[in-house]
Structure 1
Amino acid sequence: MLNNRSTAHVVPSWDTCIEALFDAHLPIKFAFTGRLSLHDITRDGFYVLRRNICSFPILDDVFRFKFCPLEPIYVVNCIQENPYELSLEGPKQASHAINDRGVFLSREILQLTMDSKFGLQCDSSLYDYVQLFKCKLIAAESKNVVSRTTRGFVDVGYVASRARMLAKFVARQMSGPDPLIRCMDHQLEIHLKEIKRSIETSVIPLGMLKVGSYFERALLFKVIADRVHLPAALVRGQYGKAWIEIAVPEAWRILGSLSF
Structure 2
Amino acid sequence: MVENKQARYVVAAWEPAIEAIFQQHPSAKLAYTGRLDINDKTRDGFYVQKRLSSPFATLRALLEVADPSQDPVFVCSFQPPDSESISAVDLRTPKYSPTSRSDRSLSPGRLLDDKNLRHYLLRLRIWFGDPSKSLHYLEIEDAHYEVRYRDKCAEVSTTLKQKAALLAEYVAEVMSGLTQERDCSMPSVHLHLADIMMELRSNIIGLGFVKCGGALERALLYKVLADRAGLPCALARACSARAWCEVAVPEPDPEESDVEQNYPAGLLRANYVVDLTQCPGRLLPIGGVDAKLICNI
TM-score, length-normalised on structure 2? 0.69
Q: Helix, strand or coil for the counterpart of 1:250?
A: coil
Q: How many residues align?
A: 235
Superposition RMSD in Å? 3.2
Residue in structure 2 matching 1:148, options 121, 134, 158: 134
Query: 1:72/1:146 Cα in 2 relative to 1: closer, same or farther (>3 Å)?
Result: same
Alignment of 1:164-243 (within 5 A): 164-178=165-179, 180-182=181-183, 184-238=185-239, 240-243=241-244
How many Å separate the matches in 1 of 2:15 and 2:48? 23
Alignment of 1:39-188 (within 5 A): 39-63=39-63, 65-68=64-67, 70-80=70-80, 83=83, 94-96=85-87, 100-103=97-100, 104-106=102-104, 110=107, 114=109, 119-138=110-129, 147-148=133-134, 153=139, 155-178=156-179, 180-182=181-183, 184-188=185-189
Q: Which residue does the alignment assign to 1:249?
A: 250
How many Å separate the matches in 2 of 1:105 and 1:72? 19
Name structure 2 gaps, 5 residues minimum: 89-95, 141-155, 258-282, 284-297
Q: Which residue does the alignment assign to 1:2?
A: 2
**1 or 2, which has the higher helix percentage?**
1
Is residue 77–residue 121 contact of structure 1 (8 Å, CA) maintained in 2?
no
Query: 1:16/1:146 Cα in 2 relative to 1: closer, same or farther (>3 Å)?
Result: closer
Percent identical pairs in the alignment equals 32
Letter in 2 for 1:50: K
How many Å separate the matches in 2 of 1:184 and 1:149? 41
Is residue 157–residue 252 contact of structure 1 (8 Å, CA) maintained in 2?
no
Is residue 215–residue 243 contact of structure 1 (8 Å, CA) maintained in 2?
yes
How many Å separate the matches in 2 of 1:157 and 1:181? 31
Query: 1:95/1:190 Cα in 2 relative to 1: closer, same or farther (>3 Å)?
Result: closer
CA deviation after TM superposition for structure 1 residue 177, in Å: 1.9
CA deviation after TM superposition for structure 1 residue 54, in Å: 4.5
Is residue 149–residue 229 contact of structure 1 (8 Å, CA) maintained in 2?
no
Q: What are the superposed Cα offsets for residues 172-208 of structure 1, whole Å, 9 maximum, x if unpaired?
A: 0000123644552111111111110111111100000
How many Å separate the matches in 2 of 1:149 and 1:30? 32
Letter in 2 for 1:79: Q
Q: Which residue does the alignment assign to 1:87?
A: none
